[in-house]
Chain A
Amino acid sequence: MGQLVVNGLALGSIYALVALGLLLIFNTVQIVNFAQGQLLMLGAFIGISCAVTHELPVVMAWAITMVAMALVGIVFMVLVYFPLRGRPAFLVILTTIAMGIVLENLALIVWGPLPVSLPSPVRGPPARFAGVVVSMHQIFIFATLAVILLLQFLFLTKTRFGILMQATAQDLHTARLVGIPVNRTIAVAFAFGAVLSGIAGLLVAPIFLAEPTMGGSLGLKGFVVSVIGGFGNLPGAVIGGLFLGLIETFGARYISSNFRDAYAFIVMIAVLVAWPRGLFGEKSSEKV
């Protein structure tokens, strides 16, 4: 039982990280980026290119990956968001799906179809508590999630730029009218969103291996988690992620492993029926 809890929480932490990146972009431009999972995959492969192919120290590989992902986020914004800004939201969403497919096949061409492992930045024997095994990497995942959640919360609520981002999210046109550098704010949101996905990729690759198609399922779970937590709510996304990780793990163990993926969508539908705005969604009236 204890082991299932630990493994479920570790899996849920990954889902939560994907969701945090998704929400950072959504909270700024009200667009769901369905290529978030593929950005995760890209982060994993950039890390592998640095740490495995070029044998750079893992810490340096992490640093390079985060910078590269910030640039990828900005390029993504220029290619996907800017040309379709002001058009119906579904067009942008469809474009993000298309971009995800492009990224996946690009990775297939560049890195090939073989799954590859990335070394963990933390090493050492696993910790054992009453028969429950917790690997150092799992502990690192929990710690990383906690730190990122805290930093993101502080950034959005305590820094000037974070508050500008929230203002942009509330009303993009008014934000522009009052002199907020809207384009720069959006660029930062896309860059940070991509960096968060890249970090999730770096965390996933040592335990789940990296392969070009790894992002599809994880990206979708990140979306489900965001819906469960209440779209736009950061703590909700984290709690939703951990909750989903536990549901999947316990469901696979005690109900049936055949329907593991289905549990995510069953839970999402159940939550939406009971709480249409998700577990922690805020009530809001339609913007005028």
Chain B
Amino acid sequence: MFYVSLKTSVTAVTAIWLSVAVAADAKADAASCPSSIPFGLTTALTGNLALLGTQARNGAEFAVDEINAGGGIAGKKIAITTEDTGASSTDALNAMNRILEGKPLFILGSMISPHVFAQTEVVTKSETPFLVGATNAKVTMQGSKWLFRTHVHDGQLAELIPEYLVKTLGKTRPGIMAVADDYGLGASKGIQAALAKLKVSPAAVASYAPSDKDMSAQLLEIKDKDADSLILFGRPADVTLVIKQMNDLGIKLTTIGNASIVAQTTLNNLSAAEADGGYAIGGMIPQTSTDAKIMDWSKRVQDKYKVPADNFTVSYYDTVYLLKSIIEKVGCNKPAIRDALAATKDWKGMLISYQADGQGDLAHTLGIYRNKGKTPELTGPIKESGY
């Protein structure tokens, strides 16, 4: 009896000692971070991609300010260094090299895919966790185990948009119109492939240069070829022009596309009649939320930056908080942060839960939206198959 009791006691004491030791070690990990945790951000703040880039900056910076105001991570403040990529991949690479000189603990990259393609090699060599919002599906197929994406990608949209258009909206003769850059043309090809799987042939496939202002010729082609709907893929500024010009030309087609159709920037420049009825599938946006906390967050972001938050703002904001939660657990050890990112499972962000797949994609939930006048309404969330 005494022997059993002793054994039990020894086991219990050992268990307690071990658990205290593990807890102390975890605490020591976070506490071992430098007095200011270096965090690098490269994004487009000037040039024709600044509209997108500033949304990333706003989301990341807003989160950092909140975290630092709340005492930082284990009492350590995050020190953010931002470098402007401009609109070129060369500048993006130079910006990344400058960021790497500061030896950041982690880096948030651009949502512009060519910029990320240019930066991936040097970041991978530096063995620094690299989180991006770039939407080209191939971004996470580069074989870098340090690269993660926290925004939905074009491959997901290219599958879901045609499926929703054909199966739910019953349209079988869409015209496709996309911005002629890496973003739009990649999506256009994916959409055509997805339509082929559904045994649907597009009535017409058109594109426009990012700097184009007059899309009437492309719209008239789509109209002349008797399209019953339009799949539109572009940035908010050009999507606004396409919708405006459709209206001017009296072309009435069910329109579905990426989140630009419901972006606040787009809606601000359209009349209610022009915006009404447009469908979008994309990263979740905060505008449709009825949650008081999210509404308050959106208002605070708008007040601070004078620009309404969008899906990228949310994604970059969530990313910083995801990293905070990881650093609190594993400390400031880069391989441990990378491993924790790769093991992310059901981490709850502002609007969606994040879950890592084998390639490093963490976002798998999209929103289906429909404009009622100038107000986007959430028709429902839709998950990528398997999530």
Q: Say how far B371's CB is from chain A's closest CB, in angstroms.
A: 17
Query: What residue of chain A has the Cβ atom nearest to residue B248's Cβ?
Result: A135
- A133-B206 Cα distance, complex, nearest whole Å: 22
Contact call A260/B250, Cβ cutoff below 8 A: no
Task: Using A257-B218, A260-B208 as known contacts, say yes or no to A115 and B51 having CB atoms under 8 A apart.
Answer: yes
A-B interface, 10 closest residue pairs, ranked by CB to CB distance from nearest: A252-B217, A217-B211, A253-B217, A213-B48, A208-B213, A113-B51, A113-B50, A115-B237, A7-B216, A117-B269
Q: At the interface, yes or no: B37 with Cβ under 8 Å from chain A? A: no
The answer to whether residues A249 and B217 also contact, given A114-B265, A209-B269, A257-B207 and a CB cut-off of 8 A, is yes
Q: A115-B51, A115-B240 are in contact. Are A4 and B46 (CB under 8 A)?
A: no
Please indicate the chain A residues that have their CB under 8 angstroms from the CB of B50 in the complex. Answer: 108, 113, 212-213
The answer to whether the Cβ of B276 comes within 8 Å of any Cβ in the partner chain is no
Query: In chain B, what residue has the closest Cβ to A251?
Result: B217
Is the CB–CB distance between B212 and A260 below 8 Å? Answer: yes
How distant is the Cα of A66 from the Cα of B343 in the complex, in angstroms? 60
Whether, in the assembled complex, B306 has its beta carbon less than 8 Å from a beta carbon of chain A, the answer is: yes
Q: Contact between B211 and A257 (Cβ–Cβ < 8 Å)?
A: no
A216–B211 touching, CB < 8 Å: yes
- Summarize A's interface: helix, strand, loop or mixed: helix
Which residue of A has the minimal Cβ distance to B45?
A108
Question: Which residues of chain B have C-beta atoms less than 8 A from A161's C-beta?
Answer: none
**A213–B268 CA distance with the chains assembled, in angstroms:** 19
Q: Are B216 and A116 in contact (CB under 8 A)?
A: no
Chain A residues with CB under 8 Å of B250's CB are 133
Using Cβ atoms and an 8 Å threshold, which residues of chain A touch B240? 115, 209
Known: A108-B50, A112-B306, A115-B269. A253 touches B218 (CB 8 A): yes
Interface size on A, residues (CB 8 A): 38
From 229 to 261 in chain A, residues with beta carbon under 8 angstroms from any chain B beta carbon are 248-253, 257-258, 260-261
Residues of B296-322 whose CB lies within 8 A of A = 306-307
Q: How far is the CA of A135 from the CA of B250 in the complex (A)?
A: 11
Q: Answer whether residue B156 sits at the interface, using C-beta atoms and an 8 A cutoff.
A: no
Report the separation of the CA atoms of residues A58 and B76 in the bound assembly, to the nearest whole angstrom.
53
- Whether B140 sits at the interface, judged by CB under 8 Å, is no
In angstroms, Cα B239 to Cα A209, docked, is 11
- The 16 listed contacts between A and B (C-beta, < 8 Å) are A4-B216, A7-B217, A104-B46, A116-B269, A208-B214, A209-B240, A209-B269, A211-B237, A217-B211, A249-B214, A252-B208, A253-B218, A258-B180, A260-B208, A261-B211, A261-B212
Task: State how many angstroms separate the Cβ of B248 from the closest Cβ of chain A.
Answer: 6
Does B47 count as interface, using CB distance less than 8 angstroms? yes
CA distance A18 to B257 in the complex (A): 34
Nearest opposing residue in chain B for A134, CB measure: B248
Quick one: CB contact mask for B164-193 with A, threshold 8 Å, 1 for yes? 000000000000000010000000000000
